[in-house]
Structure 1
């Protein structure tokens, strides 16, 4: 069953269709949020995303564009969380280490082969990290990345280019060879 059909059925009040949408998209959303934030914050933000989806689904006019709409909500939720934390850091110097914790690895991830990549991704600037995650890890086309980030497709391409260059440089610094 397509996302478009599931969205339409969910909009008509069918709870099973909403449950199928959540089951289908729960992990991709959590993975996206996790790659943008640490594990503790990812759980909270992912729940906020699904709450916003449930509230906003009746107003979604183009059910066929569910995935970009969903990732736009996820992006806004991540941005809101980071913006709130950065404001808190600026207001009180007691939380000065909070920004540094955003890129901290989970002990469990240190055992995974991709731990180095996760670490390097966390070191990238937020805009470049976001584009890499959406394009390569979520397999979204340039046009959908542009919709989600609310930027032109050309800007997505230039950020991808810059992100690849930064990623390559960070991997070289850590001893990986292309």
Structure 2
């Protein structure tokens, strides 16, 4: 049976190489399923196997006019499918490895960022605690308890202008800490 198949393939290839393009669809019909099965056997993914078979046909059709031993078409073409399947596996592994490295580096960066955030928060808390009581109160009421400037004025029994002034001064001191921290990171 195999010898008969090789003779039919040889005849089709010789016809194609002689300019009879109608021989190609017959050859494709005879081999496409086998190519898909071979690619699936390696990749274990039906969709990928179909894509590899299609890519293999592109390569085969390009090189077919130069095939010297037409009777060896089957092994020659299957070697192309096999190589493309392995290329896909290797590329997938490389991509997955890169993704894993990226995930690890992102986790490390996240931990480093959290560490920097914690240090910054500690510095800010330290600076807030060193502010005069009046500025501490305004900062805590405005940012922590989210009162409006008018409400803070009512709570502290001071004018809106005084609240704004204390808030501005406190922010400036906090901004210095943030700038120092930013310059320290760079």
TM-score by length of 2: 0.48
Which residue of the other structure, out of 10, 16, 34, is the alignment partner of 1:10? 16
1:40 aligned to which of 47, 53, 57: 47
Aligned counterpart in structure 1 of residue 71 of structure 2, from 64, 71, 79: 64
Q: What 5-or-longer segments of structure 2 have no aligned partner?
A: 1-6, 104-186
Contact 2:42 2:86 in 1 (8 A): no
- Aligned equivalent of 2:29: 23
Per-residue CA distance 1:124-147 (angstroms, 9 max, x = gap): xxxxxxxxxxxxxxxxxxxxxxxx
Q: CA deviation at 1:94?
A: 7.8
Q: For this pair of structures, how many residues does the alignment match?
A: 96
RMSD: 1.9
Contact 1:10 1:18 (8 Å CA) reproduced = yes
Q: State TM-score, norm by structure 1.
A: 0.51
- Cα deviation, 1:94-126, whole Å, max 9, x if unaligned, reads 899xxxxxxxxxxxxxxxxxxxxxxxxxxxxxx
Task: Give the secondary-structure state (helix, strand or coil) at the position aligned to 2:22.
Answer: helix
Task: For 1:69-148, list aligned pairs within 5 A.
Answer: 69-93=76-100
Q: 1:91 to 1:6 in 2, by over 3 A?
A: same
Which consecutive segments of 4 or more residues in structure 1 shift more than 2 A? none
- Hey, what's the Cα distance between the residues in 2 that align with 1:19 and 1:95? 45
How far apart in 2 are the matches of 1:22 and 1:95? 42
Specify which structure has the bigger relative contact order, considering alpha-carbon pairs within 8 angstroms and separated by 6 or more residues: 1
Deviation at 1:13, TM superposition (A): 2.1
Q: CA–CA distance in 2 between the matches of 1:78 and 1:55?
A: 18
Contact 1:7 1:17 (C-alpha < 8 Å) held by counterparts: yes
**Matches of 2:73 and 2:26, distance apart in 1:** 13
Larger Cα-atom Rg = 2
Structure (1/2) with the larger helix percentage:
2
